[in-house]
Amino acid sequence: MKRYFIEVAYKGAAYSGFQVQENSHTVQSEIDRALSILFRAPVVTTGSSRTDAGVNAQQNFLHFDTDLPLHPQFLYKINAILPADVVLRQIYETPETAHSRFDALSRSYEYTLYTHKDPFMQDRGYFFPYKLDAGALQEAAAVLMEYSDFSTFSKRNTQVKTFICKIAESRWDIGAERLVYHVTANRFLRGMVRGLVGTMLRVGRGKLTMEQFRQAIESRDCTNADFAVPGQGLFLMKVRYPEGLLAPVFP
């Protein structure tokens, strides 16, 4: 049995999220369906990262096992089966013990806000036409890197054993009409990026002082975070693995 990683990208607007859910239309269920059609046998994938309804991905990974040979036109054929808003970019052969979720070293996300009405950004950003203090946003983003326990920014009903995350990057790019938050960490909690963004926006609008922001983080209480920003502004940008783990099948 060989193990393969597949690299995918998708627009999340039409989906109830990434992970397979009973009676829901999800990205992973479309990928499993396409693989099963191509292989003419049931294929069940395991994903590297879960994303919520409406969330997009420039890069996500899944893995699956099969003894069946890969068709020489695998990429072309699988993309002909997948819907237009999902693309499989590459397939990699890996050691049979490799795991798309647990072997990931880090994940990078972006959250985009746009300040002027733009119909072309409707499912790729959050329309936020309010005055913001750019300096306060940057300061809040920098403050996050001083902490490791992000219990405050995890939605309830999660099954994780620890709320410890190591954030390697946290910053805003602020332009005339776009604001983009960049964050990279070894792991993320359920709803974490949206909680970070929503709470920082309260700082940027003067509804939270920097001291109150720190108090919210240190409270380890999710009722002190704001998760209200919508999913369509969020993109999973990159999942990083150890050097040499992924060997492209089709260079």
Where residue 181 sits, what CATH number does that domain have? Answer: 3.30.70.660
Tell me if 225 is assigned to some domain: yes
Tell me if 138 is assigned to some domain: yes
Same domain, 68 and 20: yes
Distance in angstroms (rounded) separating the CA atoms of residues 172 and 192: 16
Distance in angstroms (rounded) separating the CA atoms of residues 177 and 166: 30
Report the 10 Å Cβ neighbour count for 33. Answer: 14
Give me the domain span that covers residue 89.
Answer: 2-103+238-248
Please answer whether residues 113 and 173 qualify as being in contact, where contact means their C-beta atoms are separated by less than 8 angstroms: no
The residues assigned a catalytic role are 52
Same domain, 54 and 141: no
Tell me if 94 is assigned to some domain: yes
User: Is pLDDT of 156 > 80?
Assistant: no
Same domain, 90 and 41: yes
The pTM of this model reads: 0.94
Whose structure tokens read 């983003």?
141
**Could you read off the pLDDT of 181-237 as tens digits, one per residue?**
999 999 999 999 999 999 999 999 999 999 999 999 999 999 999 999 999 999 999
Burial of 154 from C-beta contacts in 10 A (0-12 / 13-18 / 19+): buried
Q: Where are the alpha helices (DSSP H) in the chain?
A: 27-39, 74-81, 134-144, 192-204, 210-219
H or E element that contains 60: strand 56-66
Same domain, 215 and 244: no
For residue 109, the number of C-alpha atoms closer than 13 Å in the C-beta half-sphere is: 27
Mean pLDDT of the chain: 95
Distance in angstroms (rounded) separating the CA atoms of residues 103 and 97: 10
Same domain, 148 and 177: yes
Q: Which residues contact 170 (CB under 8 A, 6 or more apart)?
A: 141, 142, 144, 145, 181, 182, 183, 184, 196
Same domain, 94 and 147: no
Tell me if 108 is assigned to some domain: no
**Could you read off the pLDDT of 9-45 as tens digits, one per residue?**
999 999 999 998 887 899 999 999 999 999 999 999 9
Report the 10 Å Cβ neighbour count for 93. Answer: 15
Tell me if 115 is assigned to some domain: no
Please answer whether residues 170 and 141 qualify as being in contact, where contact means their C-beta atoms are separated by less than 8 angstroms: yes
Q: What is the pLDDT of residue 49?
A: 86
pLDDT class of 159 with cuts at 50, 70, 90: confident
Same domain, 208 and 158: yes
Same domain, 19 and 96: yes
CA angle, corner 46, sides to 40 and 52, nearest 5? 115
Tell me if 161 is assigned to some domain: yes
Same domain, 165 and 244: no
Which CA distances in Å does 90 have to 73, 247, 248? Answer: 12, 10, 7
Q: What is the pLDDT of residue 137?
A: 97
Same domain, 221 and 142: yes
Distance in angstroms (rounded) separating the CA atoms of residues 39 and 134: 51
Residue 48: give its domain's CATH number.
Answer: 3.30.70.580
Same domain, 208 and 242: no
Same domain, 207 and 164: yes
What's the domain count of the chain? 2
